[in-house]
A and B are shown apart, each in its own frame.
Chain A
């Protein structure tokens, strides 16, 4: 037992050392830790701000850059493609994307490819295409990448995927601030906000925090009822429908007669 604990401690120490040894660290916070989805929820604006904590003087020759990502809960998704078969458009090929975040935003302080190398992007999965995990398409599909491209295109058009270079204000290599617009059609779940500091296209340090997006009040109550007491919920739906129909009829009879 003690031996196992010692091993764990040693592992932890080994794991933590590079971070502790880093010259610069991020101190950051969000304008809100929770996004409550109420009945009149119409999107929200999230403000992220922070500072670089350092013990050494600011390096002039090798400036820092900031990248911030906000990722919604990931789910598998099917991307289908239509083709013309005998004159009509039919879904033919389909590719299952293993995991795609319901929401994903990337903001940077400078042009993306000037502050992050492709290998670092691959390692930390920062850019939108990297954030989507697509292991393999069926052998019959020749152009699998076009399906992930379509996924990104469709979601970007809806405001679910946002690529926003140069939108982080970064003052004196120390203070930074940006805002991310959360769309009205937000999926519930834990959102991961990650901040990266980069230098020479390499990630120097990163900081991750969570943002809870949750239905509250009536939204919460109805959602729970629908999933936990579906029969009661179904009967309630029908009773409301019948009552509404009866009331409308009674009101009209009153006005006519």
Chain B
């Protein structure tokens, strides 16, 4: 006869999540939060693109995972941004412009998401979105960082990126002192909107798209990019959390707390490690991680699954 031990039985501490309605190991959640938080502090990405699939994997219902992850990102980004504010590596003005675009984009994205859901196949579209965007961004960053490292080795110093292209000829110019830029507000607004749309559809903060866009499209210095990205992610994910909590009732507080306790600690360590690494090294590491997640998702779509049937609640695509 099998015997089940109920709680308090030593190290493996299980916790029952009231909204997700599953029982999981508390230390596993703390650990996951810590690792993802560290990456968040290092690269200025929210880490949602890593955490959300991990939560699916440990059995959290997808709707709860996406909503709760948004809440956790608020915490780790806030912790990270404080560290960056201290070092004056946050361009508040640029962050605000991106945020305005981001909120508009998120609102549009939620509508697009609802439309896709009514058509069915939203899961597949989200996954394809991940594979395509992670693949393109990862590859671009990887190649560019490799080149930069090679050049740095030859000349001894990292070369300045091109400061002028067509983007700098648009009207409505604004001075972004922290970034050392004098450019039109139109490109950052458009970047904000696009990232907001994608973030809402893919259920992430959007840092992994925002960071490369700021580096390569807007020409911002890498050091400023991380803090600025975190700054605007706080607001976008905060907004998303509120939407999920009021519309879907899918934010699981105990889950969020466990993830964010691990996450905020990890983010502090991450920010510390980030300052010790060179910008090119930072970028190549992020590129490798983005590509790894992309490969994992692509394999899931391509390889024959062990169980071709899946269960879902009625009324969702």
Contacts and interface: CB of A to CB of B under 8 A. Distances in A.
A245 B6 contact: no
Contacts of A222: 18-19, 253-254
Given A240-B257, A249-B83, A39 B15 contact: yes
Given A185-B21, A241-B71, A242-B74, A235 B242 contact: yes
Contacts of A230: 245-246, 249
A222 B22 CA distance: 15
User: How many residues of B sit at the interface, in one of the four size bands?
Assistant: 35 or more
Contacts of A167: 1
Contact of B312 (A78, A218, A242): A78
Given A237-B256, A248-B267, A38 B7 contact: yes
A27 interface: no
A215 B18 contact: yes
B18 A154 contact: no
A155 B307 CA distance: 12
Given A242-B78, A245-B264, A236 B253 contact: yes
Contacts of A220: 18
A156 B22 CA distance: 16
Contacts of A248: 79, 264-265, 267-268
B19 A78 contact: no
Given A80-B310, A88-B301, A223 B19 contact: yes
A82 B72 contact: no
Interface in B283-317: 300-305, 307-314, 316
Interface in B230-249: 238, 241-242, 244-246, 249
Contacts of A215: 18
Interface residues of A, number: 67
A238 B240 CA distance: 10
Interface in B19-36: 19, 21-23
Contact of B75 (A79, A83, A241): A241
B110 interface: no
Interface string A146-182: 0100110111000000000001000000000001011
A218 B7 CA distance: 16
Given A222-B18, A245-B79, A43 B311 contact: no
A141 interface: no
B23 A233 contact: no
B103 to A, nearest CB: 15
A40 B8 contact: yes
Interface of A: 37-45, 75-84, 87-91, 96, 147, 150-151, 153-155, 167, 179, 181-182, 184-188, 215, 218-220, 222-223, 226-227, 230-231, 233-238, 240-242, 244-249, 252-253
24 contacts: A39-B15, A75-B313, A80-B311, A84-B304, A90-B121, A154-B311, A155-B311, A167-B1, A215-B18, A223-B18, A230-B245, A230-B246, A231-B246, A235-B242, A238-B242, A240-B257, A240-B260, A242-B74, A245-B77, A246-B78, A247-B264, A248-B268, A249-B268, A253-B86
